[in-house]
Structures are given as C-alpha cells and as structure tokens.
Structure 1
Amino acid sequence: MEHDIITLAAGAGGKISQSLLSEVILPAFGEAVLPQFHDGAVLEMGERLAFTTDSYVVSPRFFPGGNIGKLAVCGTVNDLAMTGAVPKYLSVGAIIEEGLPIDELRMILETMRETALEAGVRIATGDTKVVGKGGVDGIFINTAGIGVVEGKEMDPRAVTAGLDVIVSGTLGDHSATILAKRHGIEVEDDLQSDCAPLANLAADMRRAAPSIPVMRDATRGGAAAVLNEIAEAADVGILLEEELLPVRESVEGIAELLGIEPLALANEGKLIAFCDPSETAALLSAMHASPYGKDACRIGRTTTESPGLVAMKTGFGGVRIVEMPLGDIVPRIC
C-alpha cells in the first residue's frame, strides 16, 4: 500500500480499494479465502448456492429515490443476481447510534420490508447493536444474502472479443443524486437515485440471451471501474461509443461541476452485460419490457485490440482511454 493509514479513498471502489484488497486483506486471510472474486461466491453444497455480504454507510441516510434501508436490500439482492443466482434469503445487521429517532428507524425498516417483498426474498435472521453518540453516523446496516444458482455461473474471465456491451439504463444517477443532496446542488430534471432490485431483470436477461458470460451492477467506481475490471480479467479490449452512452444532462452537469468522469459515478440499479451480437436484439427486447431496463442500450463492443484497456470513441472521431478510477470520488455513496 502507498499509504500507512486507511483513507476514505480505500473504500471508493477504485485503484486504492484494489490495493487494499490485494496487498492487505487477501494476504492476511491466505488459504482461508475462497478464490472467487466476483460480486458473490458460488458454493457447492448439494446444490449451487451463491453467498454475498455488504455493509451500507451512505450519507445522507434519506435521499431522492430511496434510503439506506432500500439500498441495503437492493445492493445484496443485486450482487446475488450478478452471480447468476435467484436471491432467496437475507440477513440484516443494524448498528444504531444512540439518539436516532424511532420514527426514522421505522421508515428505514418499512422500506426494507417493501423492497424485500418486491425482490422475492425473505429476511431470515439479523442482529441489532446500539452504540453511544458518535459511535456511528445514525445507522449502519449490513446485509448478507443466499441465492440458488440456476444455469451457468457468471464469470468475467469468460468474456471474449466480438461481444456487444449492454447497459440497462442511464449511468451515474445514484452518485449524482447523493452529491446534489449532500452539497445542495439544484437540478432541473427529476434526477433521483436509481436504487432498485435487479434480480427479475437479470433472470429475464439470462433467458433471452444464453450467451451472456457475465453481468455486473455498476456500483462503486461506476461503469468505468466495472469495465476496467472485466477487461483486465478477460484480457480483452473494450471500445465504447460516446454517442451511445445514456447519461442524463443533470448528471453530466454535476460531473462537470465537480471535475468527475460521468462513467466513474456509481449506480445502484443499473447493470452491464456482454452478449453475442446475434442475441442483442432479443436481449434488449426483454430488458425494455422491465421498468428497470426500459432505457437499455448497446454502448460498445469487446475487441482483440489493446487487451486489458477500456477506450472510448468520442463524438469528434478520436479515441481516449477510460481509466480505472483512483478512488475517493464520492465517499459514502452506499
């Protein structure tokens, strides 16, 4: 690690996060680690089960389009769905700060209940801890999830050259919403977090396009981080077309104001998939039938050129590199 102490950048999903994982956390666990570096692990236990866990510390706790409770359920459901699993059960662990209003806690829990019902998952177990004032910021939530893998397992190393790159809708909405709320930035359109459970959409996509080797939800680090990770894992090049990217004007404006690459802004209800071009039309048709995929589109393709790199063909005909975010773009967005 370049630094001797943990910084906020270490939790932002970019290069510094990768360094913390590869140089500190994984070596510490050694042979105890199951070597599956995806959104969740697939376990052979009589049947194939997917298992994942995540913690949520978003600030502010309530934002346009959701709150920390909705985010916690959606995030874990989506991580399971990205492994090719049907999510079944969640655990909920809450660390609550002394002084949190009970009415606020009730609103968070009610949203979790509603989101779990929509996603078709049951809350099977949980834990509650209360800490003194200043111990956490209001409430932090951990959710873990178990799902059943149906069909083939998703694997980023299975991506090959010649595939279309598909995104399920507009990019960067969640981070831009959090930034606008946090900094009091006024936006002209109806920008809100895209926080949503994607399990049903992902299942429809797998049925429509059996060739899909991998799907990923573009959370911390946004599409830029996801695409760079897959390009490196699969040793392929990825060429995006700027004119095809679905980004709201308000998101572009916030990104420009703060000097941030829009592709590096996180989503909490969008996914990226790769498929054979012969299945692209059927895949997009299936996605457009879902409220969470109605704006799905193709944004580029994989190539044999520049393996491990992500590039973008600009509207002026040039090509630029889309780099892996360093980190510390938007701390505490999830």
Structure 2
Amino acid sequence: MLNKQENESNDAQSNDVACITLAHGSGGKAMRDLVENEIVSAFANEYLTPLEDQARLPLSAMNSLGDRLAMTTDSFVVDPLEFPGGDIGTLAVNGTVNDLAMSGATPLYLTCGLILEEGLPLDTLRRILSSMKRAADLAGVTIVSGDTKVVHRGAADKIFINTSGIGVIPKHLEINANAAQDGDVVIVNGWVGDHGATIMAERGELQLDADLYSDCRPLHREVNALLAHCPDVHCLRDATRGGLATVLTEFAESSNVKIVLDQAAIPVRDEVRGVCELLGLDPLYLANEGKFVAIVPAKHAQAAVNALRKLPGAEQASVIGHVESTETLGTYVGVSLKTTFGSERMIDMLIGAQLPRIC
C-alpha cells in the first residue's frame, strides 16, 4: 500500500501528469507544484505570490473609494463546465463582481477556492484558470487568495469553484430591496434568459440546436452608467437563478408594493423564446449572468436607458414595467404581467428548479 501511494505521489510530481490525482491534495510537493505552477502562475500578483495564508490588502486605496466595504461569497457548480459565451471560471469571477456591483460598490479583490475531482484533466483546469484571469482583468479586480482541495473520483463533478469578493461602496449611496415606491419604473439592461437557454441547449440529453450564447459578463460599469444618470436608484439586483420574476417578486414583497410588467416591452431573443416554447418554460424565470433589474424614479428612467444602450451588451436596455402603491383598493403585493393579449396574470417567484446546476 505504501509503495502504491509513493508511486502515485511521484507520478503527480511529473511534468507529464495529464490529470488531477489525490496526491495534488495531499499537502506535499505535488500539491505545492500544482498551486505554484498552475494556480499562482495563472493569477500572479503582489498579494497572491507570497503564498501566505491570507492576503494583506492596503486600506488606503479602499478609503479613497468610499466609506463601507461590500463583501460577498458564491459557489459555482455549473453543468457543463464550458459553454458558448463562457465557462465555470468566467461565471465565478463575473458572478461575484456583479453581486458587489449591485450595491453600487467598486469591486476590488476576489478569493478563489477550488474543489477538484480526482481525474480532472489538467488541460481543463488550465483553460478555466485562464478564463478566470481574463475575466478578472476585464473587470479590473485582483484574485488575491485561495484554497485548493482534491476529492475522490465521484465525490464532485470535475470542478467546483467558490469565490468571495470585496468592494467599496461610495459615500451616501443607499440601494435596498425595500425601497421601491409608487410611480417608480422597472429597467432591465438587455436581453432576458440568454444564460439559462444556452445551458439547456448545451446539455447533451436535450440535444437542442440553437444559436445561443451566455450573457456572462461584469456589470459594474453599466451600474456606474446607471448611477451617473440616476443617482437615486431605489432597488438593484442581478437576475441570476430564478430570473427576472423571482427578483421582482422579492422587491415587491420587501417594499410592500405591486409591480406591473409589460410583456411586449421585455426584450427576449427569438432563439430564447423558441427554446422556451419547445420546453414549456417561461423566459421570465430563466437565469441570466449579465443582466440586472433596477427600480428607479420615473423622471430619470429614459436618461438611464439611453446611457445604458451606448454600452456593449446593453443595447436592448428597456423600461419594462412600473410600481403601484398597495393602498389602492384591490391592489395586492406582488408582480403581475400585462400580456400581449391584453390580459393580466400573476407572476410568482420560481418554485422548484427549472434547471439544476445552472451556475
């Protein structure tokens, strides 16, 4: 048994190793080589390279940007790992950047925790790490710390990623889910449902042939454009799992208001609509990875939409609904949709899962 473990360890240390082995999680030389040669080399920067157990970050740079830290964490288990428009690495970076941006924060630093399954091809890991680096550079954030674990074959599905993020919120900026008011309008920054439809089309058992791409991208620059033309944003959130419908239901319940959507105004690609019709799904519940929903005062809405439409990826930004007070007789807390047929139906948050392992 000892000789078998020694041989495994020696194999893992070889430059010819093609897959992750249990030795890569042993804490010994094989793990050190993996961390230094693959992970640290992919993300190399002054905070990560010393390989301390923590990143040591300068407070002075943060103090100049605002008066509060925003911190978030998220885990990513998408299936398949790679898909048109991105992969699990781009999801991990952009998803965490976007969670910070929804408070108006400037995203600065990320951590990266990797759970690797025995047998994961090293080439796959390298592609994902490279994607994370490109996404971080595009978003202007630095991956400063991390952790790597290896589990037995079958105990995970190739690779799971956890990322935590830190950003700084500017002074006097307050964006809250409970701040929607009567007369406000609802803005979405582009096509709805691209990510969810893309993942469905890519899963082999469905065998869908559609020209679809995930909308995975960082949103903080679009948020900055929104705030520049509408400094009094009341509610803001990225519409990931559960889609547009779930986010708006949460806003309505937190703010004790009714939100009325106009189906004709909601931008949905024909390809996404076709996938939904084929599978009996509603695009309002499909996951997005590059879309936010904002509730803003009506007087600022058109200027904000015009500014967003000038940015790549947000050309279809639109006003898609409005907010009503529940003090009116017969008005209920929640979300309704005025359909293209002239009827009105209730929209609830997602119950169960339209599609598991979406992000």
* Counterpart among 93, 97, 100 of residue 77 in structure 1: 97
Cα distance in structure 2, aligned partners of 1:307 and 1:107: 49
Distance 1:153 1:52 in 2: 17
Among 51, 58, 67, the residue aligned to 2:78: 58
Query: Match for 2:199 among 169, 178, 184?
Result: 178
* 8 Å contact from structure 1 (residues 233, 308) kept in 2: no
> 92-101 or 304-313, which moves further after superposition?
304-313
SS in 2 for 1:156: coil
Quick one: which of 258, 267, 281 aligns to 1:237?
258
For normalisation by structure 2, the TM-score amounts to 0.78
* 1:195 aligned residue: 216
Q: Residue 67 of structure 2 contacts residue 170 of structure 2 at CA under 8 Å; is this kept in 1?
A: no
The 1-side partners of 2:344 and 2:179 are apart by 26
| 1:147 corresponds to | 167
Is the Cα–Cα contact under 8 Å of residues 237 and 309 in structure 1 kept in the other structure? yes
Q: CA deviation at 1:297?
A: 0.5
After superposition, the C-alpha distances for 1:120-155 in whole angstroms (9 at most, x for unaligned) are 101110011111101110000000000000141210
1:320 aligns with 2:345: yes
Q: Mean Cα displacement is larger for which, 53-62 or 302-311?
A: 302-311
CA–CA separation in structure 1 for the residues paired with 2:183 and 2:304: 16
Aligned residue pairs, count: 287
* 1:104 maps to amino acid: T
Q: In structure 1, what is the equivalent of residue 187 of structure 2?
A: 166
How many angstroms apart in 2 are the aligned matches of 1:308 and 1:145? 33
Q: Which residue of 1 is the match for residue 120 of structure 2?
A: 100
Alignment correspondent of 1:212: 233
Q: Is the 8 A contact 1:236 1:302 kept in 2?
A: yes
Check conservation: 1:201, 1:292, Cα contact below 8 A: no
The whole-number CA distance in structure 2 between the counterparts of 1:147 and 1:332 is 27
Q: Do 1:231 and 1:307's aligned partners in 2 also have CA atoms closer than 8 Å?
A: no
Note if contact 1:97-1:130 (Cα within 8 Å) is conserved in structure 2.
yes
Which residue of the partner structure matches residue 296 of structure 2? 275
In percent, how many aligned pairs have the same letter? 50
Provide the secondary structure at the position in 2 that maps to 1:157.
coil
Please say if residues 222 and 264 of structure 1, whose CA atoms lie closer than 8 Å, have aligned partners that are also in contact: yes
Normalising to structure 1: TM-score of the pair?
0.84
- Aligned partners of 1:293 and 1:249: how far apart in 2? 17
**Structure 1 residue aligned with 2:106:** 86
The residue type equivalent to 1:298 in the other structure is V
Distance 2:126 2:146 in 1: 16
Deviations 1:4-56 (A, max 9, x none): xxxxxxxxxxxxxxxxxxxxxxxxxxxxxxxxxxxxxxxxxx93000000000
Q: For 1:175 and 1:48, locate their aligned partners in 2 and report how far apart those are by CA, in whole Å.
A: 33
> Partners of 1:69 and 1:83 in 2: how far apart?
23
CA distance in 2, matches of 1:83, 1:280: 19
Aligned counterpart for 2:246 among listed residues 222, 225, 228: 225
Q: Distance in 2 between matches of 1:309 and 1:118?
A: 37
Aligned partner letter, 1:75: G
Does the 8 Å CA contact 1:159/1:214 hold for their aligned counterparts? yes
d(CA) in 1 for partners of 2:333 and 2:195?
A: 27
Structure 2 counterpart of 1:310:
335
Structure scoring higher RCO (CA < 8 A, sep ≥ 6) equals 1
Larger Rg: 2
CA contact (8 A) 1:221 1:327 kept: no
Q: Which runs of 5+ in 2 are unaligned?
A: 1-65
CA contact (8 A) 1:238 1:309 kept: yes
1:300 counterpart SS class: strand
What's the C-alpha RMSD, in Å, of the aligned pairs? 1.1
Distance between the aligned counterparts of 2:118 and 2:261, measured in 1?
A: 48
Structure-2 separation of matches of 1:285 and 1:254: 30
Q: Does 1:115 align with 2:135?
A: yes
CA–CA distance in structure 2, aligned partners of residues 271 and 77 of structure 1: 13
4+ residue segments displaced more than 3 Å = none
| Cα drift, residue 292 of structure 1 | 2.8
Seen in structure 2, the aligned counterparts of structure 1 residues 226 and 133 have a Cα distance that, compared at 3 Å, is: same
Structure 1 unaligned regions, length at least 5: 1-45
Distance 2:189 2:332 in 1: 24
**Is 1:265 equivalent to 2:286 in the alignment?**
yes
